[in-house]
Amino acid sequence: MHKKTKIGLAIVAIALLPFAKLAAQERPLAIDWHNVVAVSKTTPTLQVVYNPMLRANSPIHKASFEALKKLGADHVRYVPWYPYPKAAVAELKAPTATETYWDFQYADPPLADFMEATKGHSPVINFSTIPVWMFKTDRPVQYPADPDLPFWGYNQGRELRDSTGKEVADYFARVFSWYTKGGFTDERGTFHKSGHNYNFPYWEVLNEPDLEHRMSPRLYTSIYDAVVLALKKISPETKFVGISVALENDPQWFEYFLDPANHQPGVPLDGISYHFYGRPASLDQSIDSYQYSFFDQAYGFLDRVRYIENIRKRLAPNTFTHINEIGSILQNRDYKGVIPDGYWNLSGAMFAYLFVELSKIGIDVVAESQLVGYPTQFPDVTMINWKTGKPNARYWILKLIKDNFGPGDKLVTTNSYNPHLAAQAFITADGGKKLLLINKVNKQIDIKLPAMDGAALQTVDVTTGDNPIAAGQVKGDTFTVKPFAVTVINIKN
């Protein structure tokens, strides 16, 4: 070919690039209802972490538990957590030869409220904190007398004083019996009556052991075995969830724990859990940068999930997976900066996107973190406005997902032809057809929809704020997806 001809064709090709891009953007969203890519077994839900805002004296106590009840989710995870030792630990002092120090006065009321709000569903209970006196420490750990004052230094020590794990197992067996069997007999032979007879279908053993006490997989597994064997004697039907690590990028946890050879005889490997939080890449980022940091990290997380799933399928194929903390954190638990309104929508959109992709992978439970946070207690993960008690966009997006999608849904081939717009069509378990649209960026996106004029829709976007899910209708063949919007279109059959 003549050199001038090549140059001329190159110039024409460059000149046509903008038109090619425009044509691609104008392609209507494509759905192939006959090509099922996955059948979901995924339950969308949330976790509830204890903090003083859930106590009866809190101004948002009632509203928070009402929001939890109205959500009506299954497999909600409840975690009394170590920064509040008086609510998280039922025996704060070691027993003596003549006396024990059991005290449930701070633990009981919020758990009772939680059980009432989740009645009829299947909660996952995790009293995650081992009494610190069961660890070898340089000196006794002093905690605040004020039950509402956070104490982040409670989890000290890396070596148990009873290396067999029996002391830890006996403690959790008594806590379990307090709530499920009406009481327990303490170390000195005295019976403590509770009057509680709750059903705990799931019990998770510890929380983030890779961070809390910096346990090795071997030590954690030995504790898990001891606790499970003790609790199985009390409640044979209860299922147990293990690992619960924060840093899911360490494969040794999964390789070791999921290998049945590393467990005592009779210990079931019912389920595993782990966590994910998106974070800004730097402290000076704005919301327009958060969107790329959060989703880039989400893409990387999905690759790690696939890797973990390969380990699970190889070693323990019948073990279920709960990814029971998904959220975003701007800096740290004490974050006092201004949180932009659109952040809640961005965080919720990331959760919605991960729900779709984790459904394709086959994860059993996908849980948003968490019901209530506030300044000094991870304010950026809250689903409830700590000033007003109103649910925010993260809550409403979870409700939108939970009310429309779940196990038994068929996910079919869907293409938005726009990298910033995630789209997934579902044939729901009851035979309906729905389309989920997720705008991953802080700008509106116009998209052509195939034959959906008049279809009903529900949406949460930057204009809905702390208000409930907005209802509407598709008009015409072009639909505008607002910044960080999560929209469900109910397609007419």
Asked which of 408, 434, 460 is the last residue of a domain, the reply is 408
Instruction: Say whether both 63 and 165 belong to one domain.
Output: yes
Instruction: Say whether both 431 and 345 belong to one domain.
Output: no
Exposed / middle / buried, residue 261 (Cβ in 10 Å: 0-12, 13-18, 19+):
exposed
Cα 88 to Cα 58: distance, rounded to the nearest angstrom: 18
Segment (H or E) for 251? helix 251-257
Asked if residue 254 lies in contact with residue 217, where contact means CB atoms within 8 angstroms, the answer is no
Residues 6+ apart with CB under 8 A from 413: 30, 31, 32, 35, 37
In a domain, 16, yes or no: no
In a domain, 14, yes or no: no
pLDDT of residue 23: 40
Q: Which residues of 369-381 are buried (b: 16+ CB within 10 A; e: fewer)?
A: bbbbbbebbbbbb
In a domain, 257, yes or no: yes
Structure tokens at 423: 């789209």
Asked if residue 233 lies in contact with residue 289, where contact means CB atoms within 8 angstroms, the answer is no
Instruction: Say whether both 376 and 445 belong to one domain.
Output: no
Amino acid at 89: V
Instruction: Say whether both 393 and 439 belong to one domain.
Output: no
We report the CATH number of the domain holding residue 106 as 3.20.20.80
pLDDT of residue 11: 39
Residues 6+ apart with CB under 8 A from 356: 411, 422, 424, 436, 438
Instruction: Say whether both 162 and 46 belong to one domain.
Output: yes
We report the CATH number of the domain holding residue 455 as 2.60.40.1180
In a domain, 1, yes or no: no
Asked which of 386, 408, 430 is the last residue of a domain, the reply is 408
In a domain, 102, yes or no: yes
Write out the chain's pLDDT in tens, 493 residues: 544 444 444 433 434 443 333 344 568 999 999 999 999 999 999 999 999 999 999 999 999 999 999 999 999 999 999 999 999 999 999 999 999 999 999 999 999 999 999 999 999 999 999 999 999 999 999 999 999 999 999 999 999 999 999 999 999 999 999 999 999 999 999 999 999 999 999 999 999 999 999 999 999 999 999 999 999 999 999 999 999 999 888 899 999 999 999 999 999 999 999 999 999 988 888 889 999 999 999 999 999 999 999 999 999 999 999 999 999 999 888 888 889 989 999 999 999 999 999 999 999 999 999 999 999 899 999 999 999 999 999 999 999 999 999 999 999 999 999 999 999 999 999 999 999 999 999 999 999 999 899 999 999 999 999 999 999 999 999 999 999 999 999 997 7
pLDDT of residue 248: 84
Instruction: Say whether both 271 and 419 belong to one domain.
Output: no
In a domain, 9, yes or no: no
pLDDT of residue 334: 84
pLDDT of residue 333: 85
Question: Residue 333, Cβ neighbours under 10 Å: how many?
Answer: 16
Instruction: Say whether both 378 and 326 belong to one domain.
Output: yes
Instruction: Say whether both 300 and 334 belong to one domain.
Output: yes
Instruction: Say whether both 205 and 70 belong to one domain.
Output: yes
Instruction: Say whether both 433 and 342 belong to one domain.
Output: no
What is the domain count for the chain? 2
In a domain, 31, yes or no: yes
Asked which of 408, 428, 455 is the last residue of a domain, the reply is 408
Q: Which residue has the tokens 């529900």?
A: 458
Asked if residue 131 lies in contact with residue 92, where contact means CB atoms within 8 angstroms, the answer is yes
pLDDT of residue 361: 98
Instruction: Say whether both 205 and 336 belong to one domain.
Output: yes
Cα 298 to Cα 277: distance, rounded to the nearest angstrom: 8
pLDDT of residue 5: 43
Instruction: Say whether both 248 and 336 belong to one domain.
Output: yes
Q: Which residue has the tokens 């992978």?
A: 361
In a domain, 165, yes or no: yes
Segment (H or E) for 46? strand 43-49
Cα 458 to Cα 437: distance, rounded to the nearest angstrom: 11
For the whole model, what pTM was predicted?
0.93
Asked if residue 147 lies in contact with residue 84, where contact means CB atoms within 8 angstroms, the answer is yes
Q: Which domain holds residue 136?
A: 41-408
